[in-house]
Amino acid sequence: MLNKKDRLMTMLLTDVKKGKRVRFVAVEGGHNFQGRLASMGLLPGAALEVIQNEGGGPIILSVGGSRMALGRGMACRILVA
């Protein structure tokens, strides 16, 4: 869990604009959710680029040269800086 100071320096993945690059900081979720993200390459410290974040559809990310889509329900539980 993040301390108060670290939490103030982060934002939700859903708030990142198209074209911005951020680092994966933490996830608010249980072990199953963390494991699912890890299997997709989303580990703390990973560099992410937001390819698409418009409307109510999925967020498209570039992670390690691969593209992936995340639903907003998942993305709103991911903290980035």
Domains of the chain plus CATH, in order, are 4-80 (2.30.30.90)
Per-residue pLDDT of the chain (81 residues; tens, 9 = 90+): 666 656 668 999 999 999 999 999 999 999 999 999 999 999 999 999 999 998 889 999 999 889 999 999 999 999 999
Looking up tokens 């301390």, which residue turns up? 3
The pLDDT score that the predictor gives to residue 39 is: 93
End-to-end CA distance of the chain: 15
Looking up tokens 């608010």, which residue turns up? 28
The pLDDT score that the predictor gives to residue 3 is: 66
Token reading at 2: 């993040």
CA distance 39 to 5: 29
The pLDDT score that the predictor gives to residue 80 is: 97
Q: What are the contacts of 4-8 at 24+ separation with CB within 8 A?
A: 7/79
The pLDDT score that the predictor gives to residue 1 is: 60
Query: The whole model's pTM is what?
Result: 0.87
- Measured in whole angstroms, the distance separating CA 28 from the mean position of its chain's CA atoms is 11
